[in-house]
Amino acid sequence: MRSEQPELATYRLHPNNEGETISPPTTPEVHPRERIRLPSSLCKPSLRAYFDWDDSGNEDYANRPTLLDLFAGGGGAAMGYHRAGFKVVGVDNKPQPHYPFKFHQADALTYPLDGFDAYHASPPCQRFSVMQHIHKNHSEHPDFIDMTRVALEESGKPYVIENVPNAPLRNDLMLCGTMFGLSFPRHRIFESNIPLPLLTMSCNHINLYDPYHGGEMARNEKIKLAKAMKIEWQMTRPEIREAIPPAYTEYIGKYLLKTIEKPGC
């Protein structure tokens, strides 16, 4: 979202961070997962308990293509691009203490785009969400999609814009969690200036997990939702509500990489 103070401010984590966060279950549970390998210089102390950090195998990290993640939120999209092979930098006008990569608190609409190989943007979706239309207050929320598109088109680099199905995006690709074997659908559409091949799998909305139960997400349900989306690091309840599963951008990121490796294809 836009910041009232557009000047750049690199965010520093405060020990007494405000906001409700996802706390681990009382009884520790072990969930096998792929090791998250990042240089120790990017490892935030607050996240060490939620990742299996390891500096080995990072010789190529500095040489990875860089992706700028605009309107970054808690990092759901960022993690997918990291797993696809990008070095990710996030930008958001609000502090994001749970963002797992390098982060700048700044105005996403005025942040310099120079020096990056690709871009992802997730402009605020509240204006277009079904719930806001039901409550008839969608007009109270901003629409930054057109401004974001213009800026990314002018960059001349590969980009992806993500939002909810009712948003004014060209629907180049629609993804659902069930296409990736997740039990939570979270439909999202993606517009891009590169081809995004469709998945061969279709939605399968049988026996889906519903964390809302027809209303607000319960406190104890956010942990289950994070697991359903395979978000394995700490997030607040609002961050979980707005995040997308990393599997979406891991899939898309592989095609972005191919475009960067073979310009003009």
CB 219 within 8 A of CB 237: yes
Asked whether residue 60 is assigned to any structural domain, the reply reads yes
Asked whether residue 4 is assigned to any structural domain, the reply reads no
- Residue 208: pLDDT band (50, 70, 90) is confident
Identify the helix (H) or strand (E) that includes residue 120: strand 118-121
Residue 154: DSSP 8-state: H
* The model's pTM: 0.73
What CATH number should be reported for the domain holding residue 257?
Answer: 3.40.50
Asked whether residue 123 is assigned to any structural domain, the reply reads yes
Asked whether residue 13 is assigned to any structural domain, the reply reads no
Asked whether residue 26 is assigned to any structural domain, the reply reads no
In this predicted model, what pLDDT tens digit does every residue of 108-129 receive, in sequence order? 999 999 999 999 999 987 655 6
Task: Provide φ and ψ at 115, rounded to 5°.
Answer: 90, 5
DSSP-assigned states of every residue in 9-64:
EE----TT--S-BPPPPSS------------GGG--GGGGGGS----TT-TTGGGS
Contacts of 260 (CB under 8 A, 6+ apart): 65, 117, 118, 158
What's residue 18's pLDDT? Answer: 47
Asked whether residue 28 is assigned to any structural domain, the reply reads no
What's residue 17's pLDDT? Answer: 46
**Domain range for residue 247?**
33-261
The average confidence (pLDDT) of the chain is: 77
Amino acid at 97: P
Asked whether residue 15 is assigned to any structural domain, the reply reads no
What's residue 50's pLDDT? Answer: 56
What's residue 139's pLDDT? Answer: 55
Q: CA gyration radius for the chain?
A: 18
In this predicted model, what pLDDT tens digit does every residue of 6-31 receive, in sequence order? 443 443 344 444 444 444 445 444 44
Domain tally for the chain?
1
Q: Which residues of 138-177 are buried (b: 16+ CB within 10 A; e: fewer)?
A: beeeebbbeebbebbeeeebbbbbbbbeebebeebbebbb
Lowest-pLDDT choice from 26-40, 72-86, 94-108, 228-242: 26-40
Task: Tell which residue, 1, 92, 93, 75, has the closest CA to residue 38.
Answer: 75
Q: Average pLDDT for residues 91-113, to the nearest whole number?
A: 93
Amino acid at 71: F
What gap in Å lies between CA 43 and CA 45, rounded to an integer?
6
